[in-house]
Structure formats: structure tokens, C-alpha cells
Structure 1
């Protein structure tokens, strides 16, 4: 059950937040896909950059994902039945490395292209590739690539029922605790818009705000576990809402102050169910 501090129960506080906002058409690169018996493989090219990928169901419910980007090899073994995953990443020759900004940019574009051109829910291999790649596209420089992701029973708090309502979202950092006014916002869950909008001085702006107390905010599928807005239904959870709030209010995506929110949201992104009708 959501904390009483979070649930506002408002379906659409400001009319301007409820209108459809057209996204500008933009290139999503070229996805070259080969469907195999156990999964899929292929390449994705955007301008001069490209990546390679495979995703195979090696045993019932167990998916092996490999994505190669800028000389970085990203791997994941995801057990969707036990809801545990082992992920890793290394440079050519096996040297340790990290995901950096240009890797995240290409991975985010790949995730968008995959969602746009493939029914990512058509197979377990496709769904897992999309979820894991989306997580990599948001991985901060300071989070180790080699780590385990595990979801215990009720390992996430779904907020599907709060779609199109405002909830309190929060983070902590060196200056503020979670639920401090300056680290908390009222976020409109799941609203599809190209950008995040902030209600400041009685008007909406896309100018990113820095720890302004209790702003109303909407857009960019706030609370969705993953990069941007998916082509289909969203995966909406409390941890993903808080991670969005952290990186949209005074911190960059790669900020170490949002590492704990990112790690907490990882099992949600890997395993939480999607919200129908979103």
C-alpha cells in the first residue's frame, strides 16, 4: 500500500497537463533484426555509431543477453522465473570499464528503435532485451557493471492504479533527506509528453528545476521503468518514480546521488509487470 504521504488522488490537476502533446519526428536509426528460433539478434546503426545484440532463451525462462557498444561488451543472464539476474560489462580484452554518456545515448536510441519497430512483448527474448538494454541506457558511471539484480516477493510497489494521478516522488542526497520539501515533487504518473514540465510561478516550463520544493511535474512517462516513453504499455513503480524525480530535479542521469534510486529501481525494470492501458 502506498504511503499516505504519496497518494494525492488527483487525476488531472492542471488542464494543460492533460492535453495531447505531439512529439517531434526524429530519426531513430536503422535496426537490422534477425529472428531466430530461440530469440533474436542483429545490429543497430545511428549515424556513424552502431551496436550489435543477441538475446536468446537458453533454458525455459532464462534469457542470455549480449550487447556490444563502442567496444564495450554488456552481458546479462536473466532468470525470469526466479526473478534474479547477473549482469556484467567489460572492454575488449576483458578489462574493467564503465558505461559513459556516449554509450547511454546510443543505447537509449536503440531502446526507442526496438520499441518502435518490434513487438517487444511477443517473446521473452525480445522483452528481456528491451528491459535490460533500457536499464543499461540509464546506468550511471559510478554503478558497477558487474552486479546482481534480485527481486524478492513483492520486490516492487506497482503504481498502475495511480496512472494519470499525482503522487509524491522523492530522493535523498548530501543536502536533503527523502521527503524533505526540497527533494520532493508531486509527479503526474505516466503522462506521455516529449519533455518534463514543471509548474513554476503559475505557469508550466520545461526548464529543469533544481530542488524547488513540492513542484507539480508531468511528462516523459514519469514513473515508467526505463528510458523515455515505451511504444506500448508502461511499467510504473514507486522506485522508478523516485529515480525519475532524482534525475529531473537537480541531478543528471549519471549523478552518483541518484545511484541508490537507480539500484532500487533495477529489479522493477527487469521484472515488474506492465500496466495495461498505459
Structure 2
């Protein structure tokens, strides 16, 4: 039976460190600020924002929601991003995706300042992740995976890691972050031939394909560490991950639940990035 890896425990421990950092900044008259930009009113985005606002409030970060109408033009959107880039009270900018079809992500992703791009939307930051540079911001979800591994002392050096999922939001950046830590990484996806053969070899298996309960018990090696990044809803409307949790926990060594796993850590990582962006701005201004 696997040990359950609690994301909530990781988030709480990280939160306490961040509270101390914010207290120090506030003692010098500085309040870290985050602006979350939402176009329209997607329920899933609003749910995430609510959680992020709550976490920021607990830590002491000023979090504002910039909600734009669903019919906002690309020019209007870019104008608002540029305003936030110039706003000295805003240290981090998070753009909720997907954007409406009227706004091209391929264009606007270059507009957000890399120094305020706390969830790695601008390709400048993604390039830094891919090249192993430390100066940028990695996406919050793969960063949350790394926080969990570090908190539980799960070593990456020399380990066989298999990541199921190749998105630019999770799979690809996470593979580079793990490779930098000397793991041997294989990236798979839903079209991988004989996926079970690949996943069953993993000492650390990360499921991030966005397909409910696709990782079955026969796809996991005995004693493997299983990190479930997926957030899905089954036919009964129940939240579940990409892993068949009840079956896989009988074989795995460690496993993250959904909910209560990786998702629990992402908003705290977001807050961590905002504080880091704030410190970077202070250093830049001398």
C-alpha cells in the first residue's frame, strides 16, 4: 500500500516561509502585488482565482482581479497588459488561459513583462526553463511537482522518470526541470506505442495527459513514486486525476491524491513567484 503524498502539507510548510518573507518586505514598506487577468467568466478560471486570492491573502500579498468582458479586443487586452507592466504596485501578472478566440495567445504572450511573468506565459521565460537558466519563472504546476518531491526527500539524480503528457504547461518544462536535476527522463503521451511498457519502467511516474484515470495498475511498477497532475471530472461529476488512484495505490510506493495533491501546491508556488518577482524588482532598482 502506497504512502499518500499530501500536497496540502507541502503547501502549508511553504506558506509559513512565505509569510515570514512578506513580513520582512512589509517592514520596509513594500507590499508584493499580483494582478490576475481574466477575459470572460469561465467557472474553472473563477474557481482557481478564488483559491489563489485566498492563498495570497493568507500570505499577505495584494491580489487584484482584472476581469475584462468576453468580447474584449486584442488591442484592448494588450493595452491593459502594458498598463500592468508599468504599474509599480504590481510585481506579478497571471493571465488566465485559454483566452477567447478573438485574442491570439501567439501575439499577446510576448507583451507581458518577463520580470512579472510569474506563470511562464512569455516565451523568454520558457526559453530559460528549457535552457536550464535560473533567472526566469517556470510554470507553477511543474514547480509545484518539484516542491513536493523536495519536501518528501524524493531524489531525482539517476532516477528513471516517465512523464505522460507533452504540453508546454506541464510535461515539457517539467522534463527539463527534472533533467537539470540529473534524472533520466522519458516523455510519453496518449499516442505512445505500448505506453504501459514505458510507464511500468518508471521509478518516478508523472501523469499529466489530462485524461481521467488513464494510468491503470498494470501500467505502474511496484514501489514507484506516482505524481498525478491531472484534474478531471468523471461521469458522476467527481473530481479525479489521470491515475486510477484506488487501484494504483495498492502497488505504488508513494502517490499523490486528487484533490489534495499537486493542485494544492500551485497557488502557493504562485505566491512564491510573486515574492521573488518583487525582490527582483527591488534588486533591479537598487
Bigger proportion of residues as strand: 1
Relative to the length of structure 2, the TM-score reads: 0.29
More helix by share: 2
Q: Highest CA radius of gyration, 1 or 2?
A: 2
Q: Output the TM-score relative to the length of structure 1.
A: 0.30
Higher RCO (C-alpha under 8 Å, 6+ residues apart):
2
